[in-house]
Structure 1
Amino acid sequence: MANRFGKRMGDSLFVKMSLNLRELAQLAGVKSTELAEVINDLEEKRILKMMGNSFEIDLQKLR
């Protein structure tokens, strides 16, 4: 998804998506509640930032 819809800017990857949480969970093969927990955890750690129909991943913090 990142290669197709993403754009790298410095240490961040910006991805535009038109999927809701349920659809994204189906693609990942997990329950929506499980995905929501992971997203919340990554947001608390400031690795992931959700912004409406897009999100930003801090690649430096993933390492």
Structure 2
Amino acid sequence: MIIEFLKDLRSRITEEEYKIILNIVREDIQFNFINFNKEITQEEFIEICKISYNIVINFKLGE
């Protein structure tokens, strides 16, 4: 599920955008786990990726 999602995401964006999105996701997950001991489901991981994707794409469009 996650691997297929990431493959699809990677096919639609540049390598730089992909790295930025994964960094945002990693930081979000780390923050929530370290501060709140919160683990996430696969669905939540994908949702965080989608939100991060929208942030990166919207920022890029605003440049």
Q: What TM-score comes out, normalization by structure 1 length?
A: 0.35
TM-score in terms of structure 2 length: 0.35
Greater strand fraction, Structure 1 or Structure 2: 1
Between 1 and 2, higher relative CO (CA 8 Å, sep ≥ 6) is seen in 2
- Could you say which structure has the higher helix fraction? 2
